[in-house]
Structure 1
Amino acid sequence: MSVQAKMIDDDVLRLREYIEGHVAKSGDQRLPPEPKLSDALGVSRGRLRTVLKRLEDEGLIWRHVGKGTFVGPREAQPDDESWSSSISVDDIMDARLVLEPQLAAEAAVHATSADIAAMDQCLADMASTRPFVPWKRLDEHLHRTIAESTHNALLLMLYDTMRVQVRVNLDARMEEVFTSQTGPRHDTDGEHHLLVDAIRAHNPGKAEQLMREHLRSVRVKLFGLR
């Protein structure tokens, strides 16, 4: 090992120890600005950036331009374009198939009469809507109403995070497939009715099954058999 490499390894070790002490003492996940950190470690700014890059590559810290350096893995932000660009439509549909059937099951357990009434109103509006864009807004509203009916704030947050990616990555494909249809989407509307009926009956197993079947049907409509 060269002398330079050994010095960098030593600096990395000192920074690790500094981070552990900083978090333990202050409870703050954000590290001091580079000038202060450089002084605290007794290294040049250039050397500090090399060491920070090493720890970032290891996942110990993450940096956000203009905001600072933070301890831990980088947090995903729903509207962060750098994250969105790495998410495929397959990723989105897989995530929906994992999350939304469970939301439907929870809604079947926890939905109130007001929740069911809101779903019924949405179904009625969808049945009378011909253009795609307003129908799609109602479709989104129905799925979010189901998520809201879990009465679980954390589950709703997960759903909204996923919906951002649907909007960014999947909406264009939906418009391409469905815009040519002039009437209500009868197959999809029928699937929605069965799903809401299962939630109304407080049957979580059936609601979960029907949501999964519905999403698989959507996937076939959008991308063919997969």
Structure 2
Amino acid sequence: MKRTEDAETALCHMIEAMAPGERLPSERSLCEDLKISRGTLRVFLERLEARKKVWRHVGRGTFAGSRPLETNPGLSVVADTTSPHELLEMRLIFEPKVAQLAALRASRQQISQMWYCAKKTGIVTDSKAYELWDATLHRTIAEAAHNKLLLDVFDAINDVRNNTDWGRLRDMVVSTPARQRQWWMQHEDLVDAIAARNESRAEEAMRKHIESVQLMIQGAARNQLSLMPE
């Protein structure tokens, strides 16, 4: 276990020293240097991608930093004009179906990763750490649907999410222990449904979770407006 943790730490340090947009060495080279299997490396890269430390382009490789908006034509314009409410509305339409497919197709390794991320959302003590593990959980669920186009759409939605007022509003609502516990319990219920291969329950659990987040974000937005000077 310690060797694996050391390898992940070494990979993180290597990426932090790279310039944004710089391409990582090949998977084969990284596996040889870090003395890990390709499967373990891909788990590391998935975590890093969820944290916006790397991004991947099919046929071109893996690159340091967050995915530039230019790789998604028109996305910068969409990000500039999309509100947190519109973002959540889109997620409410999209992600329950993603969870349904994940319940049907997730591998044991992916389900194990989901449980790990869900547990982390219940024990972290600050909003940035919560956001990290929440994002990793939701992307793991999207990957578990095993549909490349669907995953690209998920990443596009996430890129818009990272370029709206979402983060500021999210910080305002995650800060209370009661709300964090509520969302952690929803995550546990969601992963339990996926692990049980219960497609309808997974879909409903994701819908309830995003509706809960939507209500909290809308409340935070209203409070912010009420504090603005006339």
TM-score range, shorter chain: 0.5 to 0.7
Q: Alignment length, in residue pairs?
A: 151
User: How far apart in 2 are the matches of 1:78 and 1:120?
Assistant: 35
Q: Does 1:146 align with 2:118?
A: no
1:78 is displaced (CA, Å) by 6.5
Counterpart AA for 1:135: Y
Correspondence for 2:173: 177
Secondary structure at the residue paired with 2:162? helix
Alpha-carbon distance change, 78 to 212 in structure 1, aligned in 2, over 3 angstroms: farther
Give the alignment partner of residue 89 of structure 1, picking from 81, 84, 87. 84
Alignment equivalent of 1:204, drawn from 195, 199, 210 = 199
**Is the CA contact 1:191–1:214 (under 8 Å) kept in the aligned structure 2?**
yes
Contact 2:173 2:179 in 1 (8 A): no
TM, length-normalised to structure 2:
0.61
Aligned ranges for residues 106-145 of structure 1 at < 5 Å? 106-145=101-140
Cα deviation, residue 182, structure 1: 5.5
- What SS does structure 2 have at the residue aligned with 1:185? helix
- Pick the aligned partner of 2:162 from 162, 167, 171: 167
Structure 1 residue 167 displacement after superposition: 1.3
Question: Residue 215 of structure 2 aligns to which amino acid in structure 1?
Answer: V
CA distance in 2, matches of 1:80, 1:175: 24
Q: Hey, what's the Cα distance between the residues in 1 that align with 2:173 and 2:103?
A: 31
Cα–Cα, structure 1 residues 202 and 137, in superposed 2: closer, same or farther, change >3 Å?
A: same
Structure with larger Rg: 1
* Residue of structure 1 in register with 2:93 after alignment: 98
Residue type at the aligned position of 2:87:
I
- Give the distance between the partners of 2:73 and 2:219, measured in 1 at CA: 28
For residue 79 of structure 1, report the CA deviation from its aligned partner: 7.4
2:3 matched to which residue of 1?
Answer: none
Alignment correspondent of 1:72? none
For residue 212 of structure 2, the aligned residue among 214, 217, 225 is 217
Distance 1:97 1:78, change over 3 A: farther
Q: Letter of the aligned partner of 1:175 in structure 2?
A: D
CA distance in 2, matches of 1:175, 1:84: 19
What is the RMSD of the two structures over their aligned residues, measured on CA atoms?
A: 2.4
Structure 1 residue 184 displacement after superposition: 7.8
For residues 85 and 180 of structure 2, the distance between their equivalents in structure 1, rounded to whole angstroms, comes to 23
| Cα separation, 2, equivalents of 1:206 and 1:182 | 26
Structure 1 position 124, deviation (Å): 2.2
Tell me how far apart the structure 2 counterparts of residues 85 and 123 of structure 1 sit (CA, whole Å). 31
Determine if contact 2:99/2:206 at 8 Å carries over to the other structure: yes
Kindly indicate whether the alpha-carbon contact (under 8 Å) linking 1:188 and 1:214 is maintained by their aligned counterparts in 2: yes
Match of 2:184, SS state, is helix
Q: Name the aligned partner's letter for residue 102 of structure 1.
A: K
Equivalent pair of 1:132/1:182 in contact (CA under 8 Å): no
Q: Which runs of 5+ in 2 are unaligned?
A: 1-69, 223-230
